[in-house]
A = this chain, B = another copy of it.
Amino acid sequence: MYREAIIEEQSAEIVVAEGGHDKNSPTCTNYLRSIHDTLDIISGKWKVTIIGSLSFGKKRFMELQRDVEGIGAKMLSKELRELEINGLVTRTVYNTKPVTVEYEITEYGKTLQPIIFEMSKWGTQHRKRIMSKD
């Protein structure tokens, strides 16, 4: 009842306003549990950026490594493997010489885009804020 409304129609601001007087309601517990579930899948230094990059189209291993600044081959292949296991990206090998491999975001992976888009928006604003301080 309470929770349904929040999830379907309300904004984060409203959650806070409504929840403020009821600190340990099941709403709060559910909210935090859901966050935890999401973090289990996308936490770490790289996954979000990888998915963000693949949101602009399928890419090959080397393209991704160039896109995701600072990642090494070992980490990239490990992270891609985990994303594949969770059904967020697909991996396709073409038998060209030398082999090429393409990574592509799945429909399910695309459901993460609102999160990533919000992160990008926040990062843009944050950079402006930091810059104007110096």
Contacts and interface: CB of A to CB of B under 8 A. Distances in A.
A92 to B, nearest CB: 16
| A contacts with B: majority SS | helix
Interface residues of A, number: 60
A33 interface: yes
Interface in A18-62: 19-25, 27-39, 41, 43-45, 48-49, 52-53, 55-57, 59
A115 B41 CA distance: 15
A34 B119 contact: yes
Interface stretch (A9-17, A73-81, A93-101): A9-17
A39 B31 contact: no
B35 A48 contact: yes
